[in-house]
Amino acid sequence: MTDVLIVGAGQAGMQIAVSLRDNGFEGRIELVGEEPHGPYQRPPLSKAFLHGAADIESLELRSPSFYVDNKIVVVPDEKVLKVDLSGERGLATTDTGREIHFDKMALATGSTPRRLPTEGAELDGVLYLRGIADAVELKKRWDAAANVVVIGGGFIGLEVAAGARMDGKQVTVLEAMDRLIARAVSPETSEFYRAAHERRGTSVRLNAKITRLVGEGGAVTGVELEGGEVIPADIVMVGIGVIARGELADQLGLETVNGAIVVNEFAETSDPRVVAAGDAVLLPHPLGGDAQVRLESVQNAVDQAKTAAKTLAGVREPYRAVPWFWSDQADLKLQIAGLSTGYDQTVVRGTPDDESFSVLYYRAGRLIAIDSVNAVSDYMAVRKALGSGSTIPAEQATNLETPLKTLVVE
């Protein structure tokens, strides 16, 4: 009988365990995570949870009895420090000194927020958002905070900014680049979000150069910009990207790039006994062309975990799922499908100022991705089209009279 050790009890780790059972795997499954909680949903932490609309129990991905019924051993609050694959069986050692023997391993170690490399970053009130502990910390200070400064105009920062503004706070978003969400969306979508947040009363500062964080009595009071201007802050929320947790992979000598664990289309690492899935992984994707991509999303965690579980169970099935993503900011629902990597043409359908529009991305004349804002029908049509390998002619996509789903062609 084969024993599987899964390191990391987030969305991907949980899904590997569940999918192993779905594929008839009968060996032992142990899921070890360093947080004090069982597997839970992260997306609500920057949205519903902050506003009290979700409690910790409601974030659980599965009920405790589910794991018992499916013979999945979940071990929270324990960190795997060392892994040895030199023997016939693998051996992991945790921070409690416990030793775990296994035959195959899955790394679902996720990522950690990039820390602000700025003077004053250690001040109290400078916060990051990744796990429940971070969200609880943010929530604790939320009601008393009048001024919120968000450093980093990516998804997590903009979601928190939108929530803070809805709760009546003075909100400033500081972005180092010349547009928001630059890594994930087109300039058209970036510009829409700048304007939309400004319309709601948030100050968005692009090309912002932060010199230091200032404080009093050890607590942050403001963010100083080049030129000396200080923006008052009771909370500084930092969302400047994440770093893949590749420590164990590096320790094992697996192939990594900047910490991200390199896998093939079967979620296999460079060691055949080890699979990896989720945020920590660098993977090939058919929609990404030749580029290897990192996909930091629930969809990727779930779908890649399913591939990894199949591989562990001896079923060869390459990862082909169409990536998709969403971000809720105030009353704006952004939905993304596909991969825009290497696009050479965009088509805007609808009028961004109406707060309902889509941007379609093309490469060499073929549809590869869409960003939709409050335009669910467009998003669903493109997601379906990409899933079946179809396209939508760019020259017809702007006609709002015609639903996109009627324009899909091979």
Partner 1 sequence: MPKVTYIQPDGVETTLDARDGDSVMETAVKNGVRGIVAECGGACACATCHVFVDDAFAAKVGEPGPLEDDMLDGAASDRQATSRLSCQIKMNDDLDGLIVRIAPEQV
| 3-class SS of residue 354 | helix
- Site for partner 1 contains 60 (CB under 8 A): yes
- Site for partner 1 contains 376 (CB under 8 A): yes
Strand order in the sheet with 203-205: 126-127, 235-238, 147-151, 170-174, 203-205
Rg of the chain taking only CA atoms, in angstroms: 22
Residue whose CB is less far from partner 1, 54 or 81: 54
Q: How far is the CB of 7 from partner 1 (least distance, A)?
A: 22
Q: How far is the CB of 83 from partner 1 (least distance, A)?
A: 29
Q: How far is the CB of 356 from partner 1 (least distance, A)?
A: 11
- Site for partner 1 contains 12 (CB under 8 A): no
CA-closest candidate to residue 300, choices 332, 329, 269, 263? 263
- Site for partner 1 contains 380 (CB under 8 A): yes
> What x/- string results for residues 289 through 308 when contact with partner 1 is judged by CB under 8 A?
---------xx--x------
> What x/- string results for residues 305 through 334 when contact with partner 1 is judged by CB under 8 A?
----------------x--x-x-x----x-
- Site for partner 1 contains 118 (CB under 8 A): no
Q: In sequence order, which residues have a C-beta less than 8 Å from that of residue 395 and are 6 or more positions away?
A: none
> What would the DSSP string read from start to end of 100-158?
EEESEEEE---EEEPPP-SBTTTSBTEE--SSHHHHHHHHHHHTT-SEEEEE--SHHHH
Strand order in the sheet with 366-373: 324-329, 332-338, 366-373, 356-363, 345-351
Residue whose CB is less far from partner 1, 28 or 405: 405
Show contacts with partner 1 in window 64-103 (CB under 8 A): 65-66, 69-70
Residue whose CB is less far from partner 1, 65 or 86: 65
> Diameter of the chain by CA atoms?
66
- How do 281-284 and 260-262 pair as beta strands? parallel
Instruction: Report the distance separating Cα 83 and Cα 81, nearest Å.
Output: 7
- Site size toward partner 1 (CB under 8 A) is 31
Q: How far is the CB of 63 from partner 1 (least distance, A)?
A: 4
- How do 111-113 and 219-225 pair as beta strands? unpaired
CB atoms within 10 A of CB 174: 24
- Site for partner 1 contains 405 (CB under 8 A): yes
Q: How far is the CB of 405 from partner 1 (least distance, A)?
A: 7
Residue whose CB is less far from partner 1, 18 or 210: 18
Task: Please report, as ranges, the residues that interact with partner 1 according to CB under 8 A.
Answer: 18, 41, 43-44, 47, 58, 60-63, 65-66, 69-70, 298-299, 302, 321, 324, 326, 328, 333, 335, 376-377, 379-381, 383-384, 405
